[in-house]
A and B are shown apart, each in its own frame.
Chain A
């Protein structure tokens, strides 16, 4: 048996063990953190594909997360709930009720479709123009969600989505996402993505179509953003347009950039570091009694510290903690 196969089988066994064993040893609170962490890894890694590997820094990924959550929510809401919450839904949607898995995959497909349409014009732009334009896309999505009352309940909370994302389920989705993205990134296509980032003109000169390459990354990223959004929706159960707006975008970006945009394990590292830091800071901001002095609670201080930290990273390590390396490549030479 090849070494690779052993590794894969071993990984699968470990995963099964973790999925079966973790819920027994970790507290409810810890489980929530871990589930959120897995979903965040999916979202951050999907963002990294376009933003880090092709160098087209999109601020609009959260728009796809929103589309994913709503599409999957509409598809998997029970028929009775639909009649109660979304009475104006067109007939072809009103009678549909799907399980979480097909709804999630369909949500991803819808996002990929939207990404092709949006990306065809937008992926021609570069630098900060593409960031501002994709941010515009996110705002348009938000505006449409708030106003398309018959599909989304408008500004009110969308509720009734079955909450069936348990820790093993989230883990499996995360591992599949990372495996697929890893396959793509460390293949000839991934090489094309990186060469487009490093030197657009040289990439064109050797015959790469820059637009096609960027569009591919954008579309695949959008697919996984939609999948992550759907899982997020199924985890929360109820959400609103505000759930998928600037605050979520900023926190995902902090995770992405802190970990290192050009690295898949950077997404994992970013999520772990930011989650751990936020938890520590959130406990600190409740205030404490140090014996000689009582620190008053400072709610919101954790975000301030996180933001300052991010500025420091931008100044001293703008390419993130892992830069372009993967965790698996540290032992090797070259």
Chain B
């Protein structure tokens, strides 16, 4: 394997991983932008969507249809969460919002354990997804899942970009992120905007969840947790509340992780979580607004 081939292979891995992080981080960032809420329950939308997909596939639905319905279930759970848990505490201090979402994760995860048991369940995949494409004598390979994740992420993120810049609802969501009271004053329906934001965020999480489960081959009640933590880092590195920043942060984080594993000395690769979170702390201290909003002040 030549150096160039090795680098290309790592680049493919980084893009595939980064696509997933970006999709999760975008939803986190959208919700934060409007409500100033750190949504811990976001990872459980991934879990809900992928469980629904698995169950529907096992029940005999074609895979594509099952995925669409699964993402629908994520959207439903997200909207219900907003309506039942988050709306009553809207406007409360930061910490109350954060604790509410932490409690909701606790509820959803244990509910999933109650219903599906805590043991992982295999994810049935169509053949084309597991297929391995290999180039230059197997030095560069990627699977149908990698391809699918990258294409889906790019299409959906571009679609989101169009939505928030060209449609009235999308513009309204951005207005609400700037100034909630003024948005309500000019006559936009705040509740509807927030529900839409949650629906979109949860949809992205559901899609990312299905792809994440496809990569690992299994679903389990705690599966959303590790990608959620990474998405936190991605969203903060990009600038919490900025959609473009979240996408950028997601790909950067994917690249960083692959860099550590692929190119770093072997002793440090088990520490990659520690390195990633050290990066998060550094960003919070020195560039609290992230890459996109470097001038926002949050320190004393």
Residues of chain A touching chain B, judged by Cβ–Cβ distance below 8 Å, are 57, 121-122, 124-129, 131-133, 136-137, 139-140, 143-144, 146-147, 200, 210-211, 246, 250, 253-254, 257, 298-301, 303-304, 306-308, 310-311, 314-315, 318
Contact = CB atoms under 8 A, between A and B. Distances in A.
Contact of B103 (A124, A254, A301): A254
Contact of B281 (A126, A136, A314): A136
Interface in B248-300: 270-271, 273-274, 277-278, 280-281, 284-285, 288, 298-300
- Where chain B touches its partner, the secondary structure class is helix
Interface stretch (B94-102, B133-141, B152-160): B94-102
B284 A311 contact: no
* Those 3 A-B pairs whose CB atoms lie nearest each other, nearest first: A307-B107, A136-B277, A143-B274
Contacts of A137: 277, 281
Nearest to A201: B300
A76 B210 CA distance: 47
Interface of B: 36, 38, 85, 88-89, 92-100, 102-104, 106-107, 110-111, 113-114, 225, 229, 232, 236, 270-271, 273-274, 277-278, 280-281, 284-285, 288, 298-300
Contact of A139 (B96, B270, B273): B273
Given A128-B95, A314-B96, A307 B281 contact: no
B280 A132 contact: yes
B300 A211 contact: yes
A236 to B, nearest CB: 22
A132 B113 CA distance: 26
Contacts of B36: 128
Contacts of A140: 273-274, 277-278
B94 A318 contact: no
A108 to B, nearest CB: 24
A300 B111 CA distance: 7
A129 B95 contact: no
A210 B288 CA distance: 19
14 contacts: A127-B94, A127-B95, A132-B38, A132-B232, A132-B236, A137-B277, A139-B277, A143-B270, A144-B274, A147-B274, A253-B99, A303-B106, A303-B107, A307-B106
